[in-house]
Structure formats: structure tokens, C-alpha cells
Amino acid sequence: MATMLLKGQTALVTGGSSGIGRAIATAMAAAGATVAVNHRAGAERAAKLVDDILSAGGSAFAVEADVSDEATIERMFEEIITRCGRLDILVANAGLQMDASFQAMSLADWRKVIDVNLTGQFLCARAAVRQFLAQEELPHLSRARGKIICMSSVHEVIPWAGHVNYAASKGGVMLMMKSLAQEVARERIRVNGIAPGAIRTPINREAWETPEGLEKLLRLIPYGRIGEPEDVAKAAVWLASDESDYITGTSLFVDGGMTLYPGFEDNG
């Protein structure tokens, strides 16, 4: 049985019904948290995940909301507090890509990616901070008053041609995370980021589903394998737990060495 690092805590995972979010929701439930699985128009997938978690003896429920819509986010938080009484962990994970060369990128595609990936994390983190400050502290469950994990990407530091909106959103997430961490550290709210490399999920299917695509991708990964959603989920459970209580304002790279400049492996 997994160690119950998050026993008795309530966690919200946005974009929780697929890919990395799904693995985090599953792992946090296995670690003893009650998990609110946020989805946007993915009720069936979310319901299936909730069923899987309940069958494994965990606790979870689904909540629908578009993370880029302020009123909907406020309603989602109210729903979670009505059900659980409190929130201890936010994993701001929902995200998307709308790729185009720079000269062809529409304003709509630029805005959509910034709205979901960056503003969506702002709205959820703001609602979480307000809730952490309003609720009673339970030090026997968690030394921190609350924990926020912002799902970033190696593209918070690696420029990415053809994906300027995405890289800008993740660079923004990184400095939002650090600035917020600085602002709320004295309240003992911990805010950290996870910066995954290439993880096998629907968002990047074309990069790994053919042998040629995978071979090309592996040239960028010194550790020699693509990441699995569970690699990120284990890091998320640890970052949300008291095991990492002295860590705030940090980006944890879960990338098999992708940020180690593999082009310089052979003397550059």
C-alpha cells in the first residue's frame, strides 16, 4: 500500500481527467487525499476516473469548470468547500497547446493558450490562497497552511519555435509561481512548480506514437526514455506532502535530463 502522505487532506487537480492530471489524481487519492477531479466537458472520463479511485478504496469526485472562466472557478471552489469543508492542495495542471508558426499565429490562438495555461492558474491559485487563509489550520494533517503546485514545463526555460504562445505561458507560470511563493511564504503557504519534459500523454501524441517520432524525441532525452504520467505524479505527491515542507518557490524538473543541453554531450 502507498504511504499515506496526504492522509485526510483535500486536493483539487485541474484538468484531472486525462494524462498527467489523471495520474496525479490517482496517486494523491492513493496517498490518502480526497480528490476533486476538475474537467472541462469531459464528464465521462472524469466519472470513470472517480469510479477507479473509489474501487481502489480512495475518495474522489468530479467537478466541471473551465479554468479560464472566473465565475465558474469561484463556483467550483464553493462546490468543493460545500462537499469537503476545506482545501489543502491545489494542483493547477490544466493546459493546452495551439501550435502555429509565429507569423501564422492568430490572436485567438495566442489568447486561448495564455487564458487557459496562465490566467487559469492565476484564477485557481487566487481562489486557493483565499481559501487557505479563511479556513482553520490543521497542523496534524499538514505543517503548511496550504500547498499549490503549478504545472509548468521544460519550456519555462527552453525556447520553443512554433509554440511561442505555449512557451510564453509556461515562462509566465514560472514567475507567477515564484512571485506568489514569495508573497505568501510568511503565511506558510508553499507554492512550487513541476516542469515536465516529454511525458507520454494525449497532448504530445504525435511526438511519441510512431517509432520515427519517438527516436527523434529520445535524442533530446539523456536518460533515454520518455516520461510516464506516473513519474510526474510521484513528484507531485511528494511536493504536496510534509516530506518537502521546507521547499517553496522551486521548479522541480521531471525531464530525464532534457534541460541538460544534450546537444553538448559530445563536446558540443
Q: Is 225 helix (H, G, I), strand (E, B) or coil?
A: coil
Q: How far is CA 124 from CA 25, 82, 184, in A?
A: 16, 17, 15
Nearer to ligand NAD, 57 or 202 (CB): 202
Least distance between ligand NAD and beta carbon 246 (Å): 25
Least distance between ligand NAD and beta carbon 55 (Å): 21
Cell numbers at 27, concatenated: 496517486
Nearer to ligand NAD, 15 or 145 (CB): 15
Least distance between ligand NAD and beta carbon 196 (Å): 4
Nearer to ligand NAD, 142 or 166 (CB): 166
44: buried, middle or exposed (CB in 10 Å: 19+, 13-18, 0-12)? exposed
Nearer to ligand NAD, 24 or 184 (CB): 24
Least distance between ligand NAD and beta carbon 216 (Å): 14
**Which alpha helices (DSSP H) does the chain contain, by range?**
19-30, 43-55, 70-84, 107-114, 120-134, 164-184, 205-208, 211-218, 229-240
How many helices (H) and strands (E) would you count in the chain?
Answer: 9, 7
Query: Cell match 506568489: residue?
Result: 180
The residue ranges that bind ligand NAD (CB under 6 A) are 14-15, 17-21, 38, 40, 42, 66-68, 93-96, 116, 120, 151, 153, 196, 198-199, 201-204
What's the CA gap between 53 and 83, in Å, rounded? 17
Annotated catalytic residue within 166, 223, 246, 261: 166
Nearer to ligand NAD, 188 or 222 (CB): 222
Least distance between ligand NAD and beta carbon 205 (Å): 9
In our burial notation (b when 16+ CB lie closer than 10 A, e otherwise), range 163-172 reads: bbbbbbbbbb
Q: Is 89 helix (H, G, I), strand (E, B) or coil?
A: strand
- Would you call 261 a catalytic residue per the annotation? no
214 phi and psi angles, rounded to 5 deg: -65, -40
CA 28 to chain centre: 12
What are the residue numbers of the active site?
166
